Chain A
Amino acid sequence: MHADAVRNDAVRNDAVRNDAVRNAPAFSVSRLTFRYERKVAVSCDSLEIHRGETVAFTGSNGSGKTTMLKLLNGLLGPYDGRIDFLGLPLARNPLLRDRSVFVHQHPVLFSGTVKDNFEYALRLKRVRGAEAAKRIAMTVERFSIGPLLEREAGRLSGGETQRVAVARAVAAGADVILLDEPTSSMDSASGSAIRAFLLELRRSGTTLVFSTHDASLVLDLAGRSVRFESGRVVDEPSTGGTL
């Protein structure tokens, strides 16, 4: 009887969790305060980012954009307040590492070839063999990065590294991607390639949250922008640019 009750509770909890996951926004932040060495680095009363949305974080250097992205990805803590990812608290959220990836302004690729990087990221998700090969092939085709596949990761240009890092996240199964200044310090060709890359992700329904100083990127890509000032979310215009 006791075992049945425990099993029923587990089934009920799973159902509640699944329901929460199905209907919840990608991120829901409330009364968040993050301090770095006792100084408030980020403070946000309320912020929601819905699934499939593309949101730009704007503001001057040191305003808290990158810190907020890292907080949303669970890379920083502890903090006061609450962050939910897909309806569940961020801490020990089983979905966070399966579905969300943060990409640095200057991303890190591991030693070896680009293909090795994809394989390693998939191995971390316990995807191996034929399934891994299939996912890599699909990602390569989707983002037209075939010529980069056998290249040494350490020898790629900044733009190529950025594209591989985003593609690696997608191959690993992420559908919520957080990017820190994805087009900064890039020439116009690399910037355009990244822009096309992100537009393709947006079209496919991937949730994108990125920080930027590039107004044209906000106009081209973001459905909404959130402005940061001295660590605070100071306003949240309801609409952004167009596709």
Chain B
Amino acid sequence: MNALGNAFSLLAGGERETWWTIATSLRFSLWSTVFAVIPGVPLGAALFLGRFKGKRVAVAMVNAIMAVPTVVVGLFVYSFISRSGPLGSLNMLYAPAGVIAGQALLAFPLVTAMSYTGLQKLDPRYNETLLTLGARPWRRMIAIIREGRFVIVQAVLAGFGRVTGEVGVSMMLGGNIRWYTRTMTTTIALDAGKGEFERALSLGIVLLGVALSINFLSHLAVRDAR
């Protein structure tokens, strides 16, 4: 109980390192979500609109990639951005850019798959009407994304939630460097390991708040869609 009280005190007292970690974590998550959404939402819409051979295989692949463990994603990106990797000269390893790249890769299949499955719930007449009126593919994509904006919001929120709560990628690619790449989840892992529960608990409370907020906003998006 004492630890929990101290955890609240850290947050309420504005303890600098705790709030820096929260802000950094959210900043990384925001950017990685942006980089996942830019290709993910159009790809989800293209999968929805496209009529091509192998579509089922493509959808199955996106769904399969979604289930890849975060450390495997981390390892994959590590092999590219490590000193000996093809992108080693960019010095992204153990830097914010590395964490953001890994998290973006983690969220990308989730955003794509959720956009695709969400758009499938749209009235099929909408797409057919655009098609019959002669809307070109990119026009249809824009119109479909606009019409399905509520399910897209859900996909974006899910992507944000996924990267905010992950630890494997941040640890492997960021190195958990204090005042540089340390995030909420890596701090929790480190502090809990050291037996210092106050900060871990305070960050856990914030993570819980983020998760609840995302669920609430997601619920609002679904309600508005109806």
Contact = CB atoms under 8 A, between A and B. Distances in A.
Interface of A: 70, 73-75, 77, 97-98, 100-102, 104, 106-108, 110, 121, 124-125, 168-169, 172
Nearest to B51: A77
Contacts, number: 42
Interface residues of B, number: 15
Given A108-B123, A124-B139, A73 B132 contact: yes
Interface of B: 51, 123, 125-126, 128-136, 139, 143
Given A77-B51, A124-B139, A104 B134 contact: no
A3 B28 CA distance: 56
Given A77-B51, A104-B125, A124 B135 contact: yes
A100 B134 CA distance: 9
Contacts of B126: 108
Contact of A104 (B128, B135, B139, B143): B128
Contact of B125 (A101, A106, A124): A106
Which 5 A-B pairs give the minimum distances between C-beta atoms? A97-B134, A108-B129, A102-B132, A108-B125, A124-B135
Contacts of A110: 129, 143
Contacts of B125: 104, 106-108
Nearest to B136: A124
B141 to A, nearest CB: 13
Nearest to B130: A124
Contact of A75 (B123, B131, B134, B136): B131
Contacts of A70: 128
A107 B129 contact: yes
Contact of A102 (B123, B128, B135, B136): B128
Given A102-B128, A124-B139, 18 more contacts: A75-B128, A75-B131, A77-B51, A97-B131, A97-B132, A97-B134, A98-B134, A100-B132, A101-B132, A104-B128, A107-B129, A108-B123, A108-B125, A108-B126, A108-B128, A108-B129, A124-B135, A172-B134
A94 to B, nearest CB: 11
B92 to A, nearest CB: 43
Contacts of B130: 124
A70 B126 CA distance: 14
Nearest to A97: B134
